[in-house]
Amino acid sequence: MHLLVVAFALLIALLLLLATMTRVNAWLIERRHPPVGGFAEVEGVLLHHVHVPAPEGSELPPVVFIHGASANLNDQMVPLRPLLEGKAEMLFVDRPGHGWSGRSKGHEEQFEQAALIAGLMDRLGVGPAIVVGHSFGGSVAAAFALAYPERTKGLLFLSAATHPWPGGKTSWYYHLTMLPVLGWLFSETAASLAGSTRIGPAVTCVFAPNAVPENYLSRAQIPLVLRPRAFRANAADVDGLYRFALANAPRYREIAAPTVVISGDADTVVYEEVHSLGLARDISGAELVWIENLGHKPDWIAPDLVVSAIEKLAGRPHDLQSMGRTVEARIADDRFGAGCAATEPSGELSVA
């Protein structure tokens, strides 16, 4: 009995130590990656966002950006805002629970996230927009188009995660995080610290076979996902993605907005032949831009193509297929991230 008491005391002490280390790590992450935009309350949720007002004489409609799993608004804003500055009104938003946005129960569901984004657009006076969704954000963009067709001027899917994939599996630690009590304990003690050791290799695999841009982690503020509350929000999102896709992929045929789908054939994160080809098949008139040797991050590796796709959705006469061949020539020799495999079909950034 005495040994059991000692072992239990040691376990409690270890958990307290890990919890303290996790809190210190979260505090340091927040100090290094402060908010970059403003806050607005929508339906009781405080949403962190960057709103770039429409420039005088702009010929493009507003553009709303929806980031993927494990990310935040910086992941799209850093590479794309400079190329659209002075051309269009832009709205970048941290999805609920990500970056610096708050979250309440139920916001792992795509239609609820789309409703909050629509509410934020109302608060800021943003009219019908071209909606750009990357990875998990593609499922939210699809939900937005289904729920608000009158507010969707166009859709741009970047390496989207939108359809049911074989087996419907995601990483074990997301399922663990969703367990009552044990999941909370895992996120408060081990997930953040383990994720800190894995985040570099994980990012390499997200970009593979392309090179990770210099200082990507700090510029995109990716470590914010390692904070316990953000980690749990991310886990809930990813855990529910397959259910959303199963229920709503048959409805994509209802989408009438002009649509462009950009995807690489070397994506190590999602099954591009399921999601991107599925979108091109299901949405009438959708244009698929298929890039050889492109990984999961067209927003960073081919931002010029992404901006041209936005402009084409707005009515500009761009030849996206020809531009795609130019991107292919630029990245043809990329051979980074050897050993990475397509093991994360849900589109999440694996950090633990």
According to the model, what pLDDT value does residue 343 have? Answer: 43
Kindly state the tokens that stand for 277.
């080809």
Please give the C-alpha separations between residue 250 and each of 62, 88, 165, 221, 254, in angstroms, as whole numbers: 28, 33, 14, 35, 9
Residue among 53, 55, 101 nearest 74 (CA): 101
pTM: 0.94
Kindly state the tokens that stand for 251.
């409805």
What domains can you pick out in the chain, each with its CATH number? 22-331 (3.40.50.1820)
The alpha-carbon radius of gyration of the chain (Å, integer) is 20
Instruction: Say which DSSP state 255 is in.
Output: -
Q: Read out DSSP for 320-343?
A: HHHHHHHHHHHHTT---STT--S-
According to the model, what pLDDT value does residue 1 have? Answer: 61
- Cα separation, 305 vs 324, whole angstroms: 7
Angle 236-297-147 from CA coordinates, rounded to 5° = 50
Residues (pLDDT < 70) of the chain are 1, 341-352
According to the model, what pLDDT value does residue 15 have? Answer: 86
- Cα separation, 151 vs 135, whole angstroms: 21
According to the model, what pLDDT value does residue 348 have? Answer: 41
